[in-house]
Amino acid sequence: MIIAVDGPTASGKGTIAKALGRHFRLPHLDTGLLYRAVGYQLQLDGGDPDSEADALAACNFPDELLGHPGLRSEATGGLASRVSAHTAVRQALFERQRTFATQQGGAVLDGRDIGTVIAPDADVKLFVTASVEARAQRRWQEMNDRGEEHSLEEIEQDLRRRDERDRSRAAAPLVAADDAVTLDTSEMDKDEAISKAIEIVNTLTGQLPCP
């Protein structure tokens, strides 16, 4: 079974995808991490995120980089959003994601274009969304917990910028697949969102809930 989980930054898609992986015993890939690694490597190389050639060169990042804590920062997220707009970068990362999606036994992948480009044949497609205010509040809380100080306004503005870039780019823009089920988590806490996602997968696949 392939489960595609797409949605904007801080919608809860990563948490939901991870939980679905655990519940249905499927391996999970956070594809945003690949774009973050490209952004981080590009910075190490001193490249220009708006140059397709520089961004493509950064796709040769070493696998060990995927575990680097610097990948989680807001700055790297912004760079990831910029390098991900290049078609050559998306093509360079395609095979790795497709191979993961089509592995024996199935997989869960989360990102922006899983249901539309990487696994249009997915058995379940979830489009996880939430209001920009709810997402900014969550991101603020996460950062606060990590001891990073940013104002709520600053975070909200950054999310709006990132949404706009991810939605308006020509290459694989952030958009719900026609056959995706939309899950709005604005009014849900983490556990509610996870339960709802499991329920959707069970309903769509006709499986009985796991004990």
Give dist(CA 143, CA 140) in Å, integer. Answer: 5
Residues contacting ligand DC: total by CB under 6 A:
14
Report which residue type is found at 59: C
What phi and psi, each to the nearest 5 degrees, are found at residue 27?
Answer: -65, 145
- Could you say which of 9, 11, 41, 185 contacts ligand DC (CB under 6 A)? 9
129 binds ligand DC (CB under 6 A): no
Q: What's the token pair of residue 203? A: 């309903």
Q: What's the token pair of residue 150? A: 């940013």
49 binds ligand DC (CB under 6 A): no
81 binds ligand DC (CB under 6 A): yes
15 binds ligand DC (CB under 6 A): no
CB of residue 209 to ligand DC, shortest distance in Å = 28
21 binds ligand DC (CB under 6 A): no
Give dist(CA 80, CA 58) in Å, integer. Answer: 11
The interface region with ligand DC, picked from 17-25, 107-115, 137-145, 176-184 by CB under 6 A, is 107-115
What phi and psi, each to the nearest 5 degrees, are found at residue 125?
Answer: -125, 120
The residue (of 21 and 77) whose beta carbon lies closer to ligand DC is 77
Residue 127 is given by DSSP the state: E
The residues that touch ligand DC, with contacts defined as CB under 6 A, are: 9, 31-32, 35-36, 77, 80-81, 84, 111-113, 162, 166
